[in-house]
Amino acid sequence: MTRVRAAAVQAEPIWFDLDATTTKTVEIIAQAATEGVDLVAFPETWLPGYPLFLWGMPPVEQIPLVNAYRANSPRIDGPEIARIRDAARAHGTTVVLGLSERDHGSLYMAQLIVGPDGDVLLHRRKLKPTFVERTLFGEGDGSGLQVIDTPLGRLGALNCWEHLQPLLKFSMYAQHEQIHVGAWPPFGDQLAQLSAEASIAMSRTYAMEGSVFVVMANGVMNNVPGFAGGGAAGIYGPDGSLLSDPLDPAHEGLAVADLDLDAIDIAKVFADPVGHYARPDVFTFAVDRTARPAATVGAVIEAGSTSGGAPAAVETGPDDGSAEAIPS
């Protein structure tokens, strides 16, 4: 029997203040460690906070905020991520971090899985930012659709409405995911599909569909004018049941639960979507997990001569991945 103690963070960042929010992140990791937590999961774009201004301001008026937001978005190799990796190592905790990743002139809605030794086990980017998010963030590629082996079990992560994309979800189920981190922003009540109720339904559906534990982390927004609360963090079992104690939507805290991974086998007796409950004779499904950089620059090799006698140079790069067939 394998048991994992997990915590879903429900908290408010120090809005668009990278250094202060990094400090708060380190404090939350330390707090989780005092509760014996093996895995702590943070909300979507926790660093430096979810850009709510995208949803309520005309694009031209957003420019000063975009500039500030970009300046406070961390680089993967930056000092803030190094501090968080050090905290994971110091406390022997696996950390799943949501961040607005700054890569030169572009931003991406990224997630990092940091192991208890401080190593980055997975760096992924949201495959398709949702609606107005596309005005600020770039797209990820299939290389991030990975479930990784860890001492805690097979661990994966997705952002927000990635939980509404059936093929994307199936690509994770097919890798026999056991623990899934779903990272979400604070929730409002202006639109039904953006509400806490809808997002909880997506998380519970993911748990039942994939027969996995879902650690649902999200933010609150008590210091944002016109907003209050918005929290709905929780942990769901492979049967869809809520395992953690409910948190007040307006308060910060950790939703904590002990996960018995043997419960996955029981759930899959009823329905294993990539096993006996699948029909590979009817459906086929393939996932291209090739990394797609904008440019691949590698070694220069000779590839024959031009008509003038000079050798023609061809640039080649490493094979960053391959199309992976996944049975349906």
For residue 268, indicate whether it is catalytic. no
For residue 302, indicate whether it is catalytic. no
Q: Return the closest-CA partner of residue 185 out of 145, 148, 137.
A: 137
Which residue carries 């027969």 as its tokens? 211
What CA–CA distance (Å, rounded) separates 255 from 56?
Answer: 30
> Which residue among 24, 126, 169, 268 is the active-site one?
126
> Which residue among 12, 24, 44, 162 is the active-site one?
44
> Which residue among 160, 162, 177, 268 is the active-site one?
160
For residue 126, indicate whether it is catalytic. yes
> Catalytic residue numbers?
44, 126, 160
